């Protein structure tokens, strides 16, 4: 593989717990396990790209040293066709004793919340069956989607969106290492579009750097199909002023030029309304309605009609506001 073809999210995967950034509390607790050379079953919960997989691997490395791979297996609950395949793989892996002087093996199961409650119940029995020689690390986006009997058998760790400062520092290190020139507005754009998702930030940086120019805000917004916050603010303001047709053409531009989906527009509008200077009563009105649109989109409603309906709603509310 050439250097250019190397994927940066892999290249910059933390090699030890110390390199995981922005999750201080979690990492401190995990380091305590490394010191004691033992772990209970663990449940990692949090948004995508915040370091759950990275921390599980870093923990295995810190516990087992160089040959960590011998005693670590990673599975994805939603990839594998059903719990039976997962159980079969676990059985195979757990059949043999830990290799070397490791006291146990680690099974990392990503997207555990994709399993149905029945499948989770089967998983729980499997966890119990092999708990002498295996520790499970389950990863999920929402703890509430994991059945109570599993939650109560695991130490729960909550990962948060990676904070801007931690992200900025690490992204600058990557730029320096890769010889990438980035402008200050490029860096800010990266932090804005990734919204705490480190995977997204690194991928966007690599994509923009591949264009071969200085990485600026324009490149980042283009590559991630994200509109600039100012453009969303403009859309919102125009619609609130009652200029429905003008707002529609701004929306056209966003969707065509940036290739944004209806859901992208809704989630960016959501961020824009929250961070805008409008009064709380207005925010409540607009977000309440946006929630309805969001729900309808997930139900498969026509996205352009829904977005136009929202702009129409903004025009009416705006006129009343005067």
Ligand X SMILES: Nc1ncnc2c1ncn2[C@@H]1O[C@H](COP(=O)(O)OP(=O)(O)OP(=O)(O)O)[C@@H](O)[C@H]1O
CA proximity to 267, closest of 190, 195, 204: 195
Closest CB to ligand X among residues 53, 238: 53
Is 96 among the annotated ligand-binding positions?
no
Closest CB to ligand X among residues 180, 202: 202
Minimum distance between the CB of residue 110 and ligand X, rounded to whole angstroms? 5
Is 98 among the annotated ligand-binding positions?
no
Q: What are phi and psi of 135, to 5 degrees?
A: -110, 140
Which residue is it, tokens 């892999």? Answer: 10
Minimum distance between the CB of residue 33 and ligand X, rounded to whole angstroms? 18
Which structure tokens are listed for 54? 């990275």
Closest CB to ligand X among residues 98, 161: 161
Q: Which residue is nearest to ligand X (CB)?
A: 51
Is 183 among the annotated ligand-binding positions?
no
Minimum distance between the CB of residue 114 and ligand X, rounded to whole angstroms? 11
Which structure tokens are listed for 199? 């995977």
Is 51 among the annotated ligand-binding positions?
yes
Beta bridge mates, 138: 43, 109
Distance CA 162, CA 196 (A): 4
Closest CB to ligand X among residues 15, 319: 15
Beta bridge mates, 137: 42, 108
Closest CB to ligand X among residues 21, 307: 21
Is 224 among the annotated ligand-binding positions?
no
- Positions that interact with ligand X (CB under 6 A): 9, 12-14, 20-23, 48-54, 110, 139, 162, 198-199, 202
Is 46 among the annotated ligand-binding positions?
yes
Closest CB to ligand X among residues 12, 33: 12
Is 103 among the annotated ligand-binding positions?
no
Minimum distance between the CB of residue 1 and ligand X, rounded to whole angstroms? 17
Minimum distance between the CB of residue 236 and ligand X, rounded to whole angstroms? 30
Q: In what order do the strands lie in the sheet with 134-140?
A: 72-76, 105-110, 134-140, 41-45, 154-158
Which structure tokens are listed for 45? 């919960």
Helices (H), the chain: 8-11, 24-36, 52-64, 83-95, 117-129, 148-151, 164-178, 184-194, 198-209, 217-223, 229-240, 244-257, 262-275, 280-298, 303-321
Minimum distance between the CB of residue 47 and ligand X, rounded to whole angstroms? 7
Minimum distance between the CB of residue 179 and ligand X, rounded to whole angstroms? 19
Is 298 among the annotated ligand-binding positions?
no
Contacts of 151 (CB under 8 A, 6+ apart): 43, 143
Closest CB to ligand X among residues 22, 186: 22
Angle at alpha carbon of residue 123, lines to 122 and 126, rounded to 5°: 90
Distance CA 145, CA 17 (A): 27
The answer to whether 109 touches 120, Cβ cutoff 8 Å, is no
Which structure tokens are listed for 200? 């997204």
CA proximity to 50, closest of 77, 75, 25: 25
Closest CB to ligand X among residues 157, 310: 157
Q: Which residues are annotated as a binding site for ATP?
A: 46-53
Q: Which residues are annotated as a binding site?
A: 46-53
């Amino acid at each position: 593989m050439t250097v250019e073809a190397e994927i940066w999210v892999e290249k910059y995967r933390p090699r030890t717990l110390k390199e995981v950034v922005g999750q201080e509390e979690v990492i401190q607790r995990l380091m305590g396990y490394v010191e004691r050379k033992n772990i209970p079953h663990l449940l990692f919960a949090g948004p995508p790209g915040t370091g759950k997989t990275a921390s599980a691997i870093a923990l295995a490395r810190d516990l087992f040293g160089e040959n960590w791979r011998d005693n670590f297996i990673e599975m994805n609950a939603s990839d594998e066709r059903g719990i039976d395949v997962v159980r079969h793989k676990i059985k195979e892996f757990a059949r043999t004793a830990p290799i070397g002087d490791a006291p146990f093996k680690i099974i990392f199961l990503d997207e555990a919340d994709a399993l149905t409650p029945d499948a989770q119940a089967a998983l729980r029995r499997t966890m119990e069956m092999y708990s002498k020689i295996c520790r499970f690390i389950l990863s999920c986006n929402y703890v509430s989607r994991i059945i109570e009997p599993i939650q109560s058998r695991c130490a729960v760790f909550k990962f948060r969106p990676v904070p801007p400062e931690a992200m900025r520092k690490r992204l600058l290190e990557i730029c320096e290492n890769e010889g990438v020139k980035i402008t200050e507005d490029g860096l800010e754009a990266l932090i804005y579009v990734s919204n705490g998702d480190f995977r997204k930030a690194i991928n966007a940086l690599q994509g923009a750097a591949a264009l071969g120019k200085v990485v600026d805000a324009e490149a980042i917004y283009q590559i991630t199909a994200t509109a600039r916050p100012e453009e969303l603010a403009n859309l919102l303001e125009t619609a609130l002023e009652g200029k429905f047709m003008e707002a529609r053409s701004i929306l056209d531009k966003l969707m065509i030029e940036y290739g944004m989906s209806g859901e992208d527009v809704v989630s960016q509008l959501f961020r824009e309304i929250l961070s805008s200077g409008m009064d709380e009563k207005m925010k409540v009105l607009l977000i309440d309605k946006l929630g309805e649109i969001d729900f309808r989109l997930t139900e498969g409603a026509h996205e352009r009609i829904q977005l136009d309906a929202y702009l129409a709603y903004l025009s009416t509310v705006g006129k009343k506001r005067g």
